[in-house]
Each structure stands twice: as structure tokens, then as C-alpha cells.
Amino acid sequence: MNVISASRRTDIPAFYWRWFMNRIDEGFCHWMNPFNANQLFRVPMGADDVAAIVFWTRNAGPMLPDVARLQNAGYAFYTQYTINGYPREIEHRSPEVERAIETLRALSDATAPERVIWRYDPIILSSATPPEYHFERFEALAGEISGAVRDVYISFCDPYGRTERHFKAMSERLGWTFEFGARGQHIEMATRMAEIAAARDMQLYSCAEAGLDIPGIRRGSCIDPNLVAELRPDLDFHLKAAPTREGCGCVQAVDIGSFDTCVFGCEYCYANNSLDLPQRRMKEHDPSDSMLWRPPSLRGEDLSEIAGDQKSARIERRQGGEQLSIL
């Protein structure tokens, strides 16, 4: 039994929802290790195989008609919902803020405020988006989102190689300057944002930010064993810590997405190498395939003959006062 991440690498609810629901109907998907093409796994996705699903999205509109169906089938899930409201020069194709907030509220109404986490992430510091820009934007968004969420996550943009390349190109094109800021500046900004969040009855969490353990801010776990335990009181969890970087509090999960497939085209995205490659891969996407995107080397292959079984986390189900191990 696993926790499924859908997905840090791409926006499955926005662009690949039909594929996801086909996988729910079939009861499995295939996942290839993006860092080792020789590792291909079959991931069970039946309701009895999945402890919980963590969705990541900017547009939950396509999933809204199926929320009740997933719940009635016994799936527990929550959603990491990103709304930043950056200029189009940074977020080329993200939904308009008003529409994004409307959809977030609809998802909260269909599930619960504690099952929708607002992400103001990442915080980009530039000549066009200085600290005051973020204070004003964050406060305005918090006012619109208040009541629909319990928690909000923030993080500061990290200097990944591809992110720095994109920022350099933007600087040459637009004349903007970018910086990644010092920890002292991050603490000052996060402290003020925590105050804004608290005034709107939200708890602020830091995402993969070592050194932000200060009053008013809690260390975040995007794949959160405590929240999963709230959703699945019938299970006992023994999930290993699986941090993606320093300061990350996540536990293990199976991410079923693929890199270079999100077409929102955000300049800071670490999951895309370019802005045009995801569009090409989306055209190659087959909603009936067991893989979200199948590389050319696997096209025409019967994956059931070459895929291994995804190892499950140790999660035990309470049953009649006894514990039944599901491994």
C-alpha cells in the first residue's frame, strides 16, 4: 500500500485527468524512474492499494466532476494548490487568479478546507517582484482564499541550473534583475507573511526551507503523514522520511508523473527543461496508456512483461482490533 503523488513533476489534474481516471478504472499505472530508464514499475492504484493520493495543481477544474466518485470509491486525498498570481512574463499560461481562486473554493467545498493546501510558491525576488510586491500580493490572495483553506505553504526560489538559465534569458529579454536572497531576508519576509496568514486564520508552513524554524511558522511536509493519518484513521503508518532537499519534511510516496510534460510554462519550473518540450510531449500523450508519457524506447512494448512490482510502504490496517500488515 502506497501514498501516491500526482504529481510534483507535472499538473495531472489540469492536463492529464482523463488519463488519471483511466488508471483508477484499470487499477494500476506504470512508472519509470526518471533517473534510471532501466527501472520500470507497475504501481497498483486500486482503492485497497492506495493509502492516500496527494494532488498538485494550479487548476482543479477537470477533477471536480470526479471528486465525489473518488470519495465514494474509498480514496483518501488532499490537494496542494498553487496560486501565485505572478506576471505573465513569469507564469505564461497559469489560470487567471480570479478563476484559480474560484476553482480552489469549489474544491474546498467538495472536500474540506483541511484537504486543500494553498501554495504561494516559489517566492521569486526580482526587480519586478521585490519583497513589498509579495507582501501586497500575498495579503490580497489570503483575503480572497480565507475560509477555504487551513494551511498555506511558502518557499523561496532555489538556484537550480535550469531556473538560473531561464532567469538569465529573462534578464536579457526584459532587463529584470533576479536574486535568491539571504537567509536573514527570508526570515524577515516569512515572519511578516506568517502574521498576514494568522490574521486570516491560516497556518503558515515552510517548504524545504532549512533555517525558517521561527515563531509563527511550522516546518512543512507536502507528503504529510499526519494529514494522511487524519484522512485514514483505519491505518497505522510506518512511512520513512524521504526529503527531497534540505529542510524538506516529506515522507515516502510514489510519484506517477513525468518530467517535461507540464504546459503551464512557468519560468522557474525545475521539472521542465524548456517551454516547448512539454507541448510536444502532450501531443504524444495517450490517455489510454498505462504511462503518462512513454519514451520512444518503450513504444510498442508490452510493459506488463518488463515492469517490476513497485515496493509498497509498510502500512498496517486496523481490522477488528488486530493489525493486518499490507506490504
Q: What is the pTM of this model?
A: 0.93
Cα dihedral across residues 245, 248, 251, 254: positive or negative:
negative
- What does each of the 327 residues of the chain score in pLDDT, given as a tens digit? 899 999 999 999 999 999 999 999 999 999 988 888 778 999 999 999 999 999 999 999 999 999 999 999 999 999 999 999 999 999 999 999 999 999 999 999 999 999 999 999 999 999 999 999 999 999 999 999 999 999 999 999 988 888 899 999 999 999 999 999 889 999 999 999 999 999 999 999 999 998 888 889 999 999 999 999 999 999 887 788 888 888 898 999 999 999 999 999 999 998 888 888 999 999 999 999 999 999 998 999 899 888 877 766 556 555 443 332 222
324 vs 315: CA distance, rounded Å: 9
The Cα 11–Cα 189 span in angstroms is 28
Give the separation between CA 294 and CA 273, rounded to whole angstroms: 17
Tell how far CA 121 is from the center of its chain.
11
Residue 252 CA to residue 238 CA, distance in Å, equals: 10
Q: What are the structural domain ranges in the chain?
A: 2-326
